[in-house]
């Protein structure tokens, strides 16, 4: 095992308590838990716990500029390890706690989302927890595909004979138990690389959580989860989406387009460096044109030229670099939602989050292309979390902590993996040994 130690780097970050807010009642696991968001632009770690009233409280936080990650996957093991160690070390020092395992977002391995209907004979007796576990096990078995590993097998609803819409069938009498399950899987080799990288950081994987599922837990209000909403997390290397309805996640997906692609388009279109392109996007970027754009001139340092060689470029040129890429992104999102075949559930309001969602005009453009009501979403309050970490680009991180404490998990009192007698990390290793 790599002997490198995780160390706190950078200045200590002040912790500011945020105002309390109402939370949804749920079965709570108090923690503490460590969660890790591995993204293409940043790697962030949060150590936190749940209070008795369900509020989340931060104990430690750290983040680093992402290195060795592209499109959500690891492309440089050494650089990724260094960035993860630094982020985790910051959080551990602040919390005065050393992590052994972390909850990690799943954005690598081209995750896919599918629905399965499974029937199980009960023969007139009362449904037991073992029957429910067998239904989930059967869904996992049906979902098995060469080179893929099942991450989630989430029960959405049950039917007991002719009675539909059952939330928890235990104790009900029936001849046949029918369940609809949402299964998410991903490429096994990408997961093997991820688990190997974390083991080099002396960390086990407590669980992998679909990134858009986590973002939805952080940004959607209770009515949106119940009535239906699609959360679109606009990250740096990828954009992830999750469709919620009846307090369940019905579909997830990842599109390989994000804010970094917009930055690259600006750099190419204006012949400037990536760093200056990012600055121009942050200060002057917009995806909707205005009459004054052609008259407003922006200073653009030209790549390869001396520092004093500054071109004056109309803002309209900058917008012409940004808008086509975001139009492509929302067209791909619209196509993905239509192909998911979710009917009414896929045609409800949209909540945008993630770093790229803060670009001017994004909400209006999304509403125009998706033909849905759109709002911008910020993650809910986490007590004692630095204000800088409460922005939309930290939605996945906060959602991971919510998931770890029990939010978004169906029938938490049933251990669907107890028959294996192993932890998640060991099961993944066994799977990879057998199939890769």
What residue ranges define each of the domains in the chain, with the CATH number in brackets?
A: 112-185 (3.30.1490.110)
> Among 316, 319, 333, which residue's Cα sits nearest to residue 369?
333
How many Å apart are CA 39 and CA 77, to the nearest integer?
A: 14
How many Å apart are CA 8 and CA 311, to the nearest integer?
A: 41
H-type alpha helices, 25-108: 77-95
Beta bridge partner(s), residue 187: 148
Q: What are phi and psi of 59, to 5 degrees?
A: -110, -30
| Residue 43, H or E segment | strand 42-50
| Residue 21, H or E segment | none
Q: What is the mean pLDDT of each run of 10 residues along the chain (436 residues)?
A: 44 39 58 92 94 90 94 92 96 95 91 89 92 88 82 88 90 93 90 94 93 93 91 93 90 92 95 93 92 91 77 94 96 91 76 93 95 92 87 93 87 57 49 45
Q: Which residues contact 113 (CB under 8 A, 6 or more apart)?
A: 182, 183, 184, 210, 251, 252, 253, 340
Tokens 């009414």 label which residue? 344
> Among 206, 218, 194, which residue's Cα sits nearest to residue 393?
218
H-type alpha helices, 96-233: 129-143, 188-200, 211-219, 222-227
Angle, vertex CA 431, rays to CA 74 and CA 102, nearest 5: 50
Q: Which residues contact 211 (CB under 8 A, 6 or more apart)?
A: 37, 72, 105, 106, 107, 233, 235, 240, 254, 396
Model pLDDT, residue 423: 45
Model pLDDT, residue 406: 87
User: CA dist 396 to 30, 74, 140, 251, 400, Å?
Assistant: 19, 18, 25, 17, 6
How many Å apart are CA 217 and CA 248, to the nearest integer?
A: 10
Cβ–Cβ under 8 Å, residues 270 and 280: yes
């Amino acid at each position: 095992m790599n002997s490198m130690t995780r160390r706190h780097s950078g200045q200590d970050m002040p912790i500011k308590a945020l105002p309390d807010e109402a939370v949804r009642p749920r079965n709570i696991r108090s923690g503490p838990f460590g969660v890790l968001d591995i993204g293409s632009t940043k790697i962030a770690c949060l150590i936190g716990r749940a209070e008795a009233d369900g509020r989340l409280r931060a104990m430690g936080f750290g983040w680093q500029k992402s290195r060795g990650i592209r499109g959500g996957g690891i492309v440089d093991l050494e650089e990724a390890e260094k960035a993860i160690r630094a982020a985790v070390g910051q959080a551990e020092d602040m919390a005065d706690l050393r992590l052994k395992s972390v909850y990690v977002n799943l954005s690598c391995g081209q995750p896919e989302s599918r629905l399965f209907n499974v029937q199980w004979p009960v023969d007139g007796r009362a449904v037991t927890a073992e029957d429910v576990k067998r239904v989930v096990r059967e869904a996992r078995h049906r979902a098995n595909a060469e080179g893929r590993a099942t991450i989630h097998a989430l029960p959405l609803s049950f039917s007991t004979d002719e009675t539909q819409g059952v939330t928890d069938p235990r104790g009900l009498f029936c001849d046949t138990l029918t369940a609809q399950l949402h299964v998410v899987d991903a490429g096994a080799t990408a997961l093997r690389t991820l688990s190997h990288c974390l083991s080099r950081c002396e960390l086990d994987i407590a669980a992998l959580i679909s990134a858009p599922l986590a973002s939805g837990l952080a940004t959607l209000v209770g009515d949106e989860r119940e009535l239906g909403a699609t959360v679109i997390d606009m990250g740096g290397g990828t954009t992830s989406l999750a469709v919620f309805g009846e307090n369940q996640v019905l579909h997830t997906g990842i599109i390989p387009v994000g804010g970094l692609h917009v930055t690259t388009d600006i750099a190419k279109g204006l012949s400037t460096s990536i760093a200056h392109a990012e600055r121009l996007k942050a200060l002057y970027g917009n995806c909707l044109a205005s009459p004054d754009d052609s008259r407003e001139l922006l200073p653009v340092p030209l790549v390869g030229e001396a520092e004093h060689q500054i071109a004056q470029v109309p803002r309209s040129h900058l917008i012409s670099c940004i808008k086509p890429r975001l139009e492509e992104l929302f067209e791909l999102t619209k196509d993905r939602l239509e192909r998911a075949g979710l009917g009414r559930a896929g045609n409800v309001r949209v909540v945008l989050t993630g770093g790229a969602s803060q670009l001017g005009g994004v909400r209006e453009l999304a509403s125009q292309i998706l033909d849905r009501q759109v709002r911008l979403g910020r993650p809910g309050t986490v007590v004692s979390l630095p204000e800088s970490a409460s922005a939309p680009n930290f939605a996945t991180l906060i959602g991971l902590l919510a998931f770890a404490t029990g939010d978004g998990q169906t029938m938490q009192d049933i251990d669907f993996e107890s028959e294996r007698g192993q932890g998640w990390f060991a099961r993944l290793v066994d799977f990879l040994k057998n199939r890769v």
